[in-house]
Structure 1
Amino acid sequence: MKQRVLLAVGVLVAGLLSPLAAHAASEPLEYVALGDSSAAGPLILPQIDLPCTRSAANYPHVAAAKLGARLTDVTCSGAAIPDFSGKQFGFVPPQYDALKPTTDLVTVAIGANDSGLFQAALSCINLLPAPAGVSCKARYTAGGKDQLAASIDATGPALGKALDRIHALAPNARILVTGYGTYLRPGGCFPQVPVWPVDGDYLQGTIDHLNRMIATQSAAHGATYVDLRTPSTGHDTCAPESQRWLEGLIPGSDAAPLHPSRQGMAAFGTLVAAAAK
């Protein structure tokens, strides 16, 4: 009777373990990281790939260390969805090439470049306070149509197809899709970050729209969305350097402007690792 009870308990515990947790007990996870500069970590030292400005301290490396996973990191700065299947810069191999039937975990960070969000953020810079300049919100919403929101919505189907392709190439993998963080608090912090309050609120609202699109496509295509926006509240570009997860126009650390800092990558890697368990 005692042996039967122990056997039943063992079966129950095994059933409660996630596939990734069970895998970790036997051999390292095969983890592939796909995506753009929000995952690659441009300028964060040490850099391990010059064309893609990829850092060994980016969130895939942080997550892999916490999971004890074997990482293949093909994230690349400037990447858009077409670079998953084509050669970025004309010579960087397609990111899909890293996926295999044996892949256990895939993280995906993509969408901002496809929708033109980074370029839009740069165009919102105003070195002088209002009204000495032009509001980027006024430009992007002229005529009653929000151009950036429309671009994000148009990107949605391509993201869905990309997730389907990842499933096909790595049929046994769990797919985690990360969103983008909180870049600006309500009202911004002009002139520390030289964007007018109205434009700062518009930009963060646009990032939130992108995150909602990513979450919707993830749910519709069998992937798990990892929210980076909520945990990074209070760690935005306006925060003191010691608390900043996302750098402003003039970085206070070894990170690219308007990208995650080393602290941000450490925090995001922890979130990704927790989501993978």
Structure 2
Amino acid sequence: MKRLLHGMVGAIVLAGTVLAAAPARAAAVEYVALGDSMASGPLIPNITGPIGCGRSTHNYAHELAAELGANLRDATCSGARTKHMTEPQSTSVGGVDTGTVPPQFDALSASTTLVTLTIGGNDVGLVGIAEDCINLDPTATPCKGEFEDEVAQRTRDLGPSLDAVLDGIRARSPKARIVLTGYGLYIKKDGCWPLQPVLPTDANFLQGSVNAMNDVIRQRTTAHGGTYIDLVAPSAGHDACQSSSRRWVEGYVPVHAAAPLHPNAQGEAAYAGIIGGALDS
């Protein structure tokens, strides 16, 4: 009997030791995606969420969440500006009202462990300016002179707005890793007129404005202890001047299911891989 009891006690102790030594199962990442149309993926199949937000099931947030096995709350919305982190946003499709969506910060909570954000393009207004810079006449006056000062001022104004956004994320989700992406390479040096109908000077002005905006995003992100993801360098050879099989962003006339001057599905998947790689490192 004593031997039996001794053996049972030994087995119980051994089992307890094995259980104690087994690694605890990692908690799932609680991931919130915030941002504008670069993050939401308008017109990339399939649509999810409010139709006016143009949110795709194959935007970089969904691709990244699948890679991480994360629980995703996707609050991205086309047309969003920094103010829509804390204010409701009115949405529309083709000029038709599609209702109002809540402030994107409503998706954040104290349990959030990862936040990605792409914002600033609509604050600076670059897509609208790019549309105004279309030029089918190679001898015309470049648009750069008309918009240069306006873009520079809006880019400077973006900095304080980003400070408030980053402080707001940290206050609501103190445990979260905060990741901000820049915007990618939309058009190569000197452009590719007439394939993309902007003059060489304006192609350099437009991409240069994207780069300047990225610098502000990078500076503010690092100052607040966040992680900045550069998308320009890894996008080399994948801009709108490239073949349909290589491009990550569409030009003025898309060749894939995506919005003009926005990432396509290949681009969103590539961005997810770049962000995931940065998180691993």
Q: TM-score, normalised by structure 1?
A: 0.87
**1:70 equivalenced with 2:66 (yes/no):** no
Q: Distance in 1 between matches of 2:224 and 2:133?
A: 33
State the percentage of identical aligned residues.
47
Q: Distance in 1 between matches of 2:197 and 2:117?
A: 30
Counterpart of 1:245, as a letter, is: W
Counterpart of 1:66, as a letter, is: E
Partner of 2:95: none
Q: Distance in 2 between matches of 1:165 and 1:174?
A: 13
**RMSD value, Cα:** 1.3
Deviation of 1:91 after TM superposition, in Å, equals: 2.0
Deviation of 1:128 after TM superposition, in Å, equals: 2.1
Q: Distance in 1 between matches of 2:56 and 2:260?
A: 15
Q: Distance in 1 between matches of 2:128 and 2:245?
A: 27
**1:206 equivalenced with 2:247 (yes/no):** no
SS of residue matched to 1:231:
helix
Residue-by-residue CA offset, 1:191-228 (whole Å, 9 max, x unaligned): 01000000000111110000000000001112110011
Listed as ranges, the gaps of 5+ residues in structure 2 are 1-22, 91-98
Contact kept, 8 Å, 1:126 with 1:194, in 2: the verdict is: yes
SS of residue matched to 1:71:
strand
Counterpart of 1:29, as a letter, is: V
Match of 1:151 among 140, 150, 154: 154
SS of residue matched to 2:235:
coil
Listed as ranges, the gaps of 5+ residues in structure 1 are 1-21
Deviation of 1:71 after TM superposition, in Å, equals: 0.5
Count residues in correspondence. Answer: 249
Deviation of 1:84 after TM superposition, in Å, equals: 0.6
Contact kept, 8 Å, 1:64 with 1:273, in 2: the verdict is: no
Q: Which runs of 4+ in 1 moved over 6 A?
A: none
Q: Distance in 2 between matches of 1:215 and 1:236?
A: 21
Q: Distance in 2 between matches of 1:51 and 1:212?
A: 29
SS of residue matched to 1:55:
coil
Deviation of 1:34 after TM superposition, in Å, equals: 0.2
Partner of 2:101: 92
Deviation of 1:153 after TM superposition, in Å, equals: 0.8
Q: Distance in 2 between matches of 1:215 and 1:130?
A: 37
Partner of 1:189: 192
Partner of 2:45: 45
Q: Distance in 2 between matches of 1:107 and 1:78?
A: 17
Match of 2:111 among 88, 94, 102: 102
Q: Distance in 2 between matches of 1:241 and 1:37?
A: 21
Q: TM-score, normalised by structure 2?
A: 0.86
Which structure has the greater CA radius of gyration? 2
